[in-house]
């Protein structure tokens, strides 16, 4: 894309989409759990997929318009299952006795999710071929910079469909208080499933293969969910000032299954600890952590951490269903000094991450929850933005490329600029199938240039051409 003549995304239409059917369950308030409430300072989740544009035919000379109309209809049916996304956040407060609680209200018939149809005069190759993720991708998502607390007045879900000259980008802006990454992709898969079936048959009853469990889980199985009282009287007491975004470069780095297997083998050889098996992803995270830290040139005694999101669903005893719709994720971290990290190899760093993950047990999860209930708190983002840290986000386990809207396999997965900062690394399943990984790395320009010159890191990375050469018919 010619940087001298930048293109702009233009909005064609905008409308509100409401659930196709109103269930009795949706008329009840959705009380938020400690996992949910701790996230009100975070930005919305912004993720989406790029598809090839459908070709005109004699039967359908305007297939893109047809597709967009089908998306609106299928979104309405999807919201029947994922009804919290059609609501708004509400704060209930009183002075005597003091009470301050936040919940989601989906009962108001005047609210819903927002649907935007937009267009831009660029091609898929304009997205895929540049070294850095083009800035225009940020315009493929709505509510840029919004935090979850804004869900009191803003939609909890905005779907933006952006037409390219030869492609279609389906992007969602999804309030993180309503659900985590697992929940996001459960919704996206259901949305795709209904759309695909609608396109095949022309009609659809709105059923999905894996209905979500929308009732919030509070650990106490013998009592009904209740509205949690927070130790505040006004949102200014816990909402941070919006941070000024630094100048960042965003670049996609791809790692094949073979490359990751080598990293895993080296890490396990260096680790040489009995009864410990470093995973491919742990080895990759260790490489990223050490490589990024080398680019920053901090003093050797500076503390550095690598934080990993971890799904609590299967770590609980008994485990929580994978269909649970809400937040059930926390983060664990490996921490050391810059000097120690750089001096040792990837196996040593991977072991720090492995031990942090191993220690995140059912007992640990329940203990953290009990501590939170004794002293409720809202996460502050300043510690996350420490320029000495690396924060891994999302997961290659999410089957993004399995979301089939009836347009074939997605060409690419991309994120918006929300929740981006120096050292944020977002992981996706790779382009060469299960076992490969695609990372989106955010760094200041000078750090990114240094990373691109790091022989150890770049030696594990696929050639940049894989982002389009591996995709047939592009």
Query: Do 334 and 278 form a contact (C-beta atoms < 8 A)?
Result: no
Q: Token digits for 383?
A: 């510690």
Pairwise CA distance, residues 46 & 237, whole Å: 26
**Catalytic annotation on 176?**
yes
Q: Note whether 177 and 37 are within 8 A (CB).
A: yes
Indicate the fold that domain 249-470 takes in CATH: Chloramphenicol Acetyltransferase (3.30.559)
pLDDT number for residue 224 = 62
Do residues 291 and 456 touch, judged by C-beta distance below 8 A? Answer: yes
Class (C level, CATH) for 10-237: alpha beta
Provide DSSP, 252-320.
EEEE-HHHHHHHHHHHHHHH--TT----HHHHHHHHHHHHHHHHH---TT-EEEEEEEEE-TTTSSSPP
Q: What is the pTM of this model?
A: 0.95
7's CB contacts (< 8 A; 6+ apart) are: 1, 120, 121, 122, 136
Q: How would you write the pLDDT of the chain (474 residues) with one tens digit per residue?
A: 434 446 899 999 999 999 999 999 999 999 999 999 999 999 999 999 999 999 999 989 999 999 999 999 999 999 999 999 999 999 999 998 999 999 999 997 768 999 999 999 999 999 999 999 999 999 999 999 999 999 999 999 999 999 999 999 999 999 999 999 999 999 999 999 999 999 998 878 889 999 999 999 887 654 567 899 999 999 999 998 887 778 999 999 999 999 999 999 999 999 877 788 999 999 999 999 999 999 999 999 999 999 999 999 999 999 999 999 999 999 999 999 999 999 999 999 999 999 999 999 999 999 999 999 999 999 988 767 789 999 999 999 999 999 999 999 999 999 998 889 999 999 999 998 889 999 999 999 999 999 999 999 999 999 999 998 755 544
Are 349 and 289 spatial neighbours (Cβ–Cβ below 8 Å)? Answer: yes
Tokens found for residue 366: 């329940």
Burial class (CB in 10 A: 0-12, 13-18, 19+), 299: exposed
Q: What sign does the CA torsion over 338, 342, 346, 351 have?
A: negative
Q: Of 349, 334, 337, give the one whose Cα is nearest residue 301.
A: 337
For residues 155-166, one letter each, b for 16 or more C-beta atoms within 10 angstroms of the residue's C-beta and e for the rest, the string is bbbbbbbbbbee
> How many Å apart are CA 197 and CA 321, to the nearest integer?
25
Residue among 404, 454, 464, 470 flagged as catalytic: 404
What pLDDT digit, counting tens, does each position of 10-28 carry? 999 999 999 999 999 999 9
Which residue in 149, 176, 189, 254 is the catalytic one?
176
Residue range(s) in the chain whose domain bears CATH number 3.30.559.10 = 10-237, 249-470
Instruction: Check if 360 is active-site.
Output: no
């Amino acid at each position: 894309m010619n940087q001298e003549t930048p293109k702009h995304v233009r909005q064609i239409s905008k409308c509100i989409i409401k659930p196709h059917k109103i269930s009795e369950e949706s008329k009840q308030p959705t009380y938020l759990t400690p996992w949910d409430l701790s996230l009100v300072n975070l930005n919305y989740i912004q993720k989406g997929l790029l598809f090839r544009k459908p070709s005109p035919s004699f039967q359908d000379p305007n297939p893109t318009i047809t597709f967009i109309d089908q998306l609106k209809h299928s979104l309405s049916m999807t919201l029947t299952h994922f009804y919290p996304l059609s609501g708004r956040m509400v704060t209930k407060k009183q002075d005597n006795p003091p009470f301050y609680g936040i919940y989601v209200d989906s009962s108001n018939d005047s609210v819903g999710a927002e649907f935007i149809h937009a267009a831009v005069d660029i091609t898929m190759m304009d997205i895929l071929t540049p070294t850095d993720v083009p800035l225009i991708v940020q315009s493929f998502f709505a509510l840029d910079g919004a935090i979850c607390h804004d869900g009191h007045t803003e939609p909890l879900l905005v779907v933006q469909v952006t037409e390219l000259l030869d492609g279609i980008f389906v992007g969602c802006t999804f309030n993180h208080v309503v659900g985590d990454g697992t929940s996001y992709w459960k919704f996206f898969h259901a949305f795709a499933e209904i759309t695909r079936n609608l396109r095949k048959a022309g009609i659809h009853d709105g059923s999905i293969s894996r209905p979500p469990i929308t009732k919030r889980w509070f650990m106490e199985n013998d009592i009904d969910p209740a509205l949690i009282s927070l130790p505040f009287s006004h949102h200014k007491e816990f909402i941070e000032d919006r941070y000024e975004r630094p100048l960042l470069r965003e670049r996609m780095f791809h790692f094949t299954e073979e490359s990751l297997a080598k990293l895993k083998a080296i890490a396990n050889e260096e680790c040489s600890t009995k009864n410990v098996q470093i995973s491919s992803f742990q080895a990759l995270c260790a490489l990223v952590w050490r490589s990024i830290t080398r680019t920053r040139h901090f003093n050797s005694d500076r503390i550095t951490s690598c934080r990993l999101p971890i799904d609590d669903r299967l770590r609980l005893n008994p485990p929580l269903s994978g269909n649970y719709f809400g937040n059930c994720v926390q983060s664990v971290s490996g921490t050391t000094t810059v000097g120690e990290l750089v001096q040792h190899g990837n196996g040593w760093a991977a072991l720090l991450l492995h031990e942090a993950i191993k220690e995140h047990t059912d007992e640990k999860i329940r203990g953290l929850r009990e501590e939170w209930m004794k002293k409720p708190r809202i996460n502050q983002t300043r510690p996350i933005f420490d320029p000495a840290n690396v924060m891994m986000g999302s997961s290659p386990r999410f089957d993004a490329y399995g979301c089939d809207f009836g347009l074939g396999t997605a060409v690419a997965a991309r994120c918006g600029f929300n929740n981006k900062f120096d050292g944020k690394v977002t992981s996706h399943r790779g382009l060469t199938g299960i076992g490969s990984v695609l990372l989106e790395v955010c760094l200041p320009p000078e750090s990114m240039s240094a990373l691109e010159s790091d022989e150890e890191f770049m030696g594990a990375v696929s050639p940049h051409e894989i982002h389009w050469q591996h995709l047939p018919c592009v």
